[in-house]
Amino acid sequence: MYLADSNLVQACLNGDQTAWNALVNRYAKLVYSVAIRYGLARDDADNVFQNVFYLVYRRLDTLRDQKLLAAWITTTTARECWDIHHRHHRSSELDNSIVDAKIVPQEEVELWERRHLVWTALDQLDLGCRELLSELFHQTEKPNYEAIANRFKLPVGSIGPTQVRCFRNLEAILVKMGFDLEPETIYSADKSSVQ
């Protein structure tokens, strides 16, 4: 079951181990993606991961607005990356190109959060819909309905209606999760979210 960040934070603060596992699983990719953007080696990225979630564990009760969990984790990760980078490159001058190029803007955090919600919603679909939508969105060009029909053992004419039914199910799940279904939000989170 999907928990909004504020509910997840509250469960973590109440000592719920399952909630802690869910929080780490939810934000692991974000932490690693920030570390990779900073150009850190795998070992350093692993250290950042451990440090960030240790800090989250120790300081979660200081988070003022629980809806800003992703932004808080992103900022914490960026600081940890900077610390590791700075330790490896001790000098009087900080390479400003590293800092300037690696700061993660709020829009990127929001895009990551939307992608995460779409992936979470896809996981809640039945296997047939999940596989069909994934197949359709992994196509780099116009989907080949005949090949998709063969793969799923469906008549070619049923792919479109099945796709619509699956999208409606996905939309219902996203609405329950609090996803903003404004057209510009859907456009920015649609195809890139599923890949």
For residue 183, pLDDT over 80 is answered with no
Q: What is the Cα–Cα distance from 28 to 70, expressed in whole angstroms?
A: 11
* 100 vs 120, higher pLDDT: 120
- What does the pLDDT average to over 89-114? 57
∠ CA 134-138-141, rounded to 5°: 135
For residue 19, pLDDT over 90 is answered with yes
> Residue 153: which domain range?
105-195
Are residue 114 and residue 96 in the same domain, yes or no?
no
Contact 22, 8 (CB under 8 A): yes
Are residue 112 and residue 93 in the same domain, yes or no?
no
Are residue 80 and residue 151 in the same domain, yes or no?
no
Show Cβ contacts of residue 58 under 8 Å, excluding neighbours closer than 6 positions. Answer: none
Are residue 127 and residue 90 in the same domain, yes or no?
no
- What does the pLDDT average to over 136-149? 80
Are residue 142 and residue 190 in the same domain, yes or no?
yes
Are residue 62 and residue 110 in the same domain, yes or no?
no
Separation of CA 15 from chain center: 24
The residue among 55, 78, 104 that closes a domain is 104
Residue that has been written with the tokens 């989170």 in this structure:
189
Are residue 80 and residue 158 in the same domain, yes or no?
no
Are residue 84 and residue 116 in the same domain, yes or no?
no
Are residue 71 and residue 57 in the same domain, yes or no?
yes
Q: What is the Cα–Cα distance from 169 to 82, expressed in whole angstroms?
A: 42
CATH number of the domain that residue 126 is part of:
1.10.10
The residue among 49, 73, 104 that closes a domain is 104
Show Cβ contacts of residue 91 under 8 Å, excluding neighbours closer than 6 positions. Answer: none
CATH number of the domain that residue 24 is part of:
1.10.1740.10
Average pLDDT, the chain: 80
Q: In the chain, how many domains are there?
A: 2
If pLDDT is split at 50, 70 and 90, which confidence band does 90 have? Answer: low
Q: What is the Cα–Cα distance from 58 to 52, expressed in whole angstroms?
A: 10
Are residue 60 and residue 112 in the same domain, yes or no?
no
User: What sign does the CA torsion over 63, 114, 105, 20 have?
Assistant: positive
If pLDDT is split at 50, 70 and 90, which confidence band does 103 have? Answer: low
Q: What is the Cα–Cα distance from 35 to 51, expressed in whole angstroms?
A: 12
- What does the pLDDT average to over 2-28? 91
In terms of average pLDDT, the best of 52-56, 85-89, 179-183, 187-191 is 52-56
Q: What is the full DSSP assignment across 158-187?
A: HHHHHHHHHHHHHHHHHHHTT----HHHHH
Are residue 130 and residue 173 in the same domain, yes or no?
yes
Are residue 130 and residue 70 in the same domain, yes or no?
no
The residue among 86, 104, 122 that closes a domain is 104
